[in-house]
Amino acid sequence: MGMNRLDGRKALVTGAASGIGRATAERLSAEGAFVFCVDIQAEAAEETANQINGRGGKAFSTSLDVADRNACVAAVGAARDALGGLDLLANVAGILRPGHTHEQDPDIFDLTIAINLTGTFNMCRATLPHFLENDAKPDGGCTIVNIASAAALQGVPYNAAYGASKAGVLGLSKALASEYARQKIRVNAICPGGVSTPMTAAGFPVDNIDPALFARIAPQMPTIGQPEEIAALVAYISSPEARFMTGSGITIDGGQLA
């Protein structure tokens, strides 16, 4: 890649075992960051860290359920200790459990909110005190990038819980951006459309769906996004080049919302 925009940055990435999170950990490292990888899939998160270390980067990993508030505080502390500080957070962990809303077990709604929205909040809340006490903030400030979704901005059928959680992530990101801008902490959200990852490879395991409802959420481009393309946007937003960007929700969706 040949870019050193994140030289010496101390980054924490959730969901780093797979898909967009793994690509993000790898991209941040490729641009010079030290990376602490967390995921509920401990072994796969360790594999991400091992791959980064094998290529000459510096990475650590630990297992974390982002829905567990106390565990988030502990993991953020461990990341700060391992990296010698903390100035970049990427919240990528998430789940997608589609279904007909009137038939789906409401526990799935609660779980989706607990991981996608409250989990993102837990990580932001645990990290902000470290950012605030960081007197050596990097050029462009300390940064949080939260992965929301195009589903935050457009109704996606059979995804009420997911859409609600991701709209919440967008609102949370904007609130934090306005609250901490003066302390040189930037907070942004990315709203991807369809991206090729294990999450989407699972297909759409819902019976009796109306295919016509999907036409309006199709990308205009005859393609699907790649995790590396989302990771590249995370790296840009986290870098000094994006020092004027905070409180944004950036779509990257092949024209889905065009």
236 assigned to active site: no
Minimum separation from the CB atom of position 99 to ligand NAD (A): 16
Whose Cβ is closer to ligand NAD: residue 227's or residue 249's? 227
Residues 197-216 that bind ligand NAD (CB under 6 A): 197-200
Residues 84-103 that bind ligand NAD (CB under 6 A): 92-96
Minimum separation from the CB atom of position 200 to ligand NAD (A): 5
Minimum separation from the CB atom of position 28 to ligand NAD (A): 15
Whose Cβ is closer to ligand NAD: residue 228's or residue 241's? 228
Which of these segments, 25-33, 74-82, 170-178, 189-197, binds ligand NAD (CB under 6 A)?
189-197
Minimum separation from the CB atom of position 185 to ligand NAD (A): 21
Interface pattern 128-167 for ligand NAD (x via CB under 6 A): -------------------x-x------------------
6, 11, 17, 161: which one contacts ligand NAD (CB under 6 A)? 17
The CA–CA distances, whole Å, from 33 to 50, 59, 89 equal: 15, 9, 11
Q: Which residues are catalytic?
A: 162
Residues that bind ligand NAD (CB under 6 A): 14-15, 17-21, 39-41, 64-67, 92-96, 115, 119, 147, 149, 192, 194-195, 197-200, 227
